[in-house]
């Protein structure tokens, strides 16, 4: 974890503070992210941090902005609109995926940051190109983004202990609990317990989630045109 020895408040780099906060959030959760903790990490007084962040809410907003700034949107292309939309949504998920504990903070920041606004404008533009009215595109786009944030924050196994042995023990216990159910009453739950507890492939989990969102969008459009 980065430290700044004998750092004066004027030289404290807020970007490095956000780096430290993100690392703590990823490994210990958002509750562990406090200005006092970060002051200790950077060897400054809490007052030094208040020069850059008014309170914890301000710091958490900075964390969300960092994730949104990490979105690398694809270059415009001549691909069909739904393919381009899928590529944009994939880029959004790719930025959030390494930080499931922080991903939920991005929703209220999308329409107040430059990177978030660019994501929104590109997404809405493709939905309108596909055939939605602007207002309907806003509704569809908002719910699609919310669904993808939930895809990240609820990734099966994401909340497990990062220690591999402890994580595997916990997953085995959860599989065993489902497998112990009455197979006559819950034949499918018991037979697929290994997949329900944790996806066999995290990459496939995200690919399927994005596919379902895009398929849902095209399905709504088809119903609208029927």
CA angle 101, 106, 112 (to 5 degrees): 160
In CATH, what is the architecture of 9-53?
Answer: Orthogonal Bundle (1.10)
Indicate whether 163 pLDDT > 80: no
Do the Cβ atoms of 85 and 214 come closer than 8 Å? yes
Do the Cβ atoms of 106 and 58 come closer than 8 Å? no
DSSP assignment of 63-103 equals: HHHHHHHT--PPPP-SS-HHHHHHHHHHHHHHHHTT-HHHH
Token pair 């690919």 is found at 207
Q: What is the pLDDT of residues 82-124, one digit of tens each?
A: 999 999 999 999 999 999 999 999 999 999 999 999 999 999 9
Indicate whether 10 pLDDT > 90: no
| 45-61: average pLDDT | 90
Indicate whether 78 pLDDT > 90: yes
Query: Domain 73-155+199-225 classified CATH 3.20.10.10?
Result: no
Q: What is the pLDDT of residues 120-130, one digit of tens each?
A: 999 999 999 99
Written as six digits, the tokens of 75 are 């270059």
Domain boundaries, the chain: 9-53, 73-155+199-225, 164-197
Indicate whether 7 pLDDT > 70: no
Give the predicted TM-score (pTM) of the model.
0.87
Mean pLDDT, rounded, of the chain:
90
Dihedral sign from CA coordinates of 103, 109, 113, 118: positive
Percent of the chain with pLDDT over 90: 67
Written as six digits, the tokens of 54 are 């008014």
pLDDT on residue 169: 85
């Amino acid at each position: 974890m980065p430290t700044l020895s004998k750092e004066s408040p004027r030289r404290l780099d807020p970007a490095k503070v956000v780096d430290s906060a993100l690392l703590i959030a990823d490994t210990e959760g958002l509750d562990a992210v406090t200005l006092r903790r970060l002051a200790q990490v950077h060897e400054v007084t809490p007052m030094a941090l208040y020069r850059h962040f008014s309170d914890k809410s301000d710091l958490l907003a900075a964390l969300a902005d960092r994730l949104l700034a990490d979105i690398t949107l694809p270059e415009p292309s001549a691909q069909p609109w739904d393919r381009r939309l899928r590529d944009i949504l994939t880029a959004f998920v790719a930025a959030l995926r390494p930080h499931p504990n922080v991903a939920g903070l991005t929703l209220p920041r999308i329409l107040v940051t430059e990177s978030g606004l660019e994501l929104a404008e590109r997404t809405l533009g493709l939905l309108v190109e596909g055939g939605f009215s602007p207002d309907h595109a806003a509704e569809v786009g908002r719910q699609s983004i919310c669904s993808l944030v939930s895809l990240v924050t609820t990734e099966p196994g994401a909340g497990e202990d990062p220690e591999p042995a402890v994580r595997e023990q916990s997953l085995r216990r959860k599989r065993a609990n489902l497998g112990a159910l009455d197979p006559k009453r819950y034949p499918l739950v018991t037979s697929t317990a290994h997949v329900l507890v944790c996806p066999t492939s995290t990459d496939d989990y995200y690919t399927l989630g994005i596919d379902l969102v895009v398929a849902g969008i095209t399905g709504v459009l088809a119903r609208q045109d029927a």
